[in-house]
Amino acid sequence: MMFHVLGYSVLLLLWVCCNAQNDNCGPPPRRNNEELADLSGKLTYSHNEYVLYNCRPGFIKHEFIRLWCINGNWEQFPRLVECKKMNCGYPGSIRFGSFELINEDDFVFGARVVYECDPGYQMLSQINYRDCRADGWSHDVPHCEASKGNPCGYPEAENLELYRKYEGYMDHRHHYFPKREGEHILFHCKNGSLPLKSERYWVYSRCTKSGWDPEPKCFKLCEHTGGFPHGSFNYDNGSKFIEGNEISFTCQTGYDPNPKGGKTNCTKNGWSPTPRCISTENPCVPPPQIFDASLHGLVKKSYHSGETVHYVCHPGFVATGPLNVTCRKGKWTEPPNCEGLK
């Protein structure tokens, strides 16, 4: 009888021990998109103990990924949460070419875009692809240039307009360009600009081995008539000034040119440096009021050196000297005198 009781007790103890061990979990599972945040190297986890996962490089998540040890099994809460592949964004267009997306259906981690030049153009860059990596797109956007034998591509210059048959849709450009040696185009400049070698409205440019001649490019036309405060440009009638040209200017008496030397250059953004004339003397405040006379015309806040104003005697008074005063080095000359009639 005692033997049977002892045998039953041993079986009960083994059952309890086995069930206690079944409540534990082994090492957390390996996941494709995530890696274990706990690097302790534990081999056993107790019931209700959990582990956290981080995203592998190139993946992102919006919630915690947590696995719990439940009755000896690893279970995820919340369910269906995993790290997703990061998006690198648009890889960039290539002028005179296109690209094809491979490996993935979107611009995500692991995707590759392969660039190809249009007919008549050749790849100038050594690498014709970009990979979406954990730190973004690899390499730079490739570059295409006109192939040998077709040295003249579509001219793209600011304020340049080609004859209407070349403009409009992009496929028209691909149809007509690049041009072969000896072929030509017709273009003109707009928005106050001119070609460098011609002042005609429409200009022919011929395709040569070294490219377009003349180069289809438009240059800023700088305005030089009318002058500016206290100064004027020095030029011959009919002269035109475009980017790269230099012009001199002169200031009125009592003013110095700025910059020194009185010269400025026509640039894409207009005259540079901006021509100015700076007074060499202190300006004068409004001229003094005289009891028996008044100023002729509007009174200004200040007057530059050499500027003159005129007084008028009141009725019943007559001037005994000049009625003008002049600004000299910040001071007015002697004011006039008006005396009453006897």
Tell me, yes or no, whether 253 and 301 share the same domain: no
Tell me, yes or no, whether 78 and 26 share the same domain: yes
pLDDT value of position 20: 47
pLDDT value of position 10: 39
| pLDDT tier at 69, thresholds 50, 70, 90 | very high
Question: The tokens of 251 are what?
Answer: 């200031």
Domain presence at residue 5: no
Domain presence at residue 76: yes
Across 17-26, 194-203, 233-242, the highest mean pLDDT is recorded for 233-242
Of 337 and 131, the one with more pLDDT: 131
Across 104-113, 175-184, 328-337, the highest mean pLDDT is recorded for 104-113
Question: The tokens of 241 are what?
Answer: 């000034």
pLDDT at 73 over 80: yes
Query: What average pLDDT does the structure give for the chain?
Result: 82
pLDDT, tens digit, 9 for 90 and up, residues 147-167:
776 678 888 788 888 876 555
pLDDT at 119 over 80: no
Domain of residue 118: give its range: 97-146
Domain presence at residue 252: yes
Report d(CA 38, CA 81) in Å as an integer. Answer: 19
Identify the weakest region by mean pLDDT among 28-37, 54-63, 148-157: 148-157
Domain presence at residue 258: yes
Tell me, yes or no, whether 102 and 81 share the same domain: no
Tell me, yes or no, whether 210 and 228 share the same domain: no
Tell me, yes or no, whether 29 and 70 share the same domain: yes
Domain presence at residue 92: no
Question: CB-hemisphere CA count at 13 Å for 110?
Answer: 12
Residue 221's beta-bridge partner residues? Answer: 242
Kindly state the average pLDDT of the residues 122-143: 92
Domain presence at residue 1: no
Domain presence at residue 47: yes
pLDDT, tens digit, 9 for 90 and up, residues 260-277:
889 999 988 889 999 988
* Last-in-domain residue among 37, 57, 85: 85
pLDDT, tens digit, 9 for 90 and up, residues 304-313:
777 899 999 9
pLDDT, tens digit, 9 for 90 and up, residues 4-16:
434 434 333 443 3
Torsion angle in degrees (nearest 10) through CA of 266, 272, 273, 275? 60
pLDDT value of position 165: 59
pLDDT value of position 21: 53
pLDDT, tens digit, 9 for 90 and up, residues 221-250:
888 877 788 899 988 876 788 888 899 999
Domain presence at residue 177: yes
* Last-in-domain residue among 184, 199, 217: 217
In total, how many domains does the chain have? 5
Question: CB-hemisphere CA count at 13 Å for 233?
Answer: 21
* Last-in-domain residue among 45, 60, 85: 85
Phi, psi of 148 (to 5 degrees): -65, 140
Helix (H, G, I), strand (E, B) or coil at 201: coil
pLDDT value of position 140: 93
What's the CATH code of the domain at 209?
A: 2.10.70
What's the CATH code of the domain at 266?
A: 2.10.70.10
| pLDDT tier at 114, thresholds 50, 70, 90 | very high
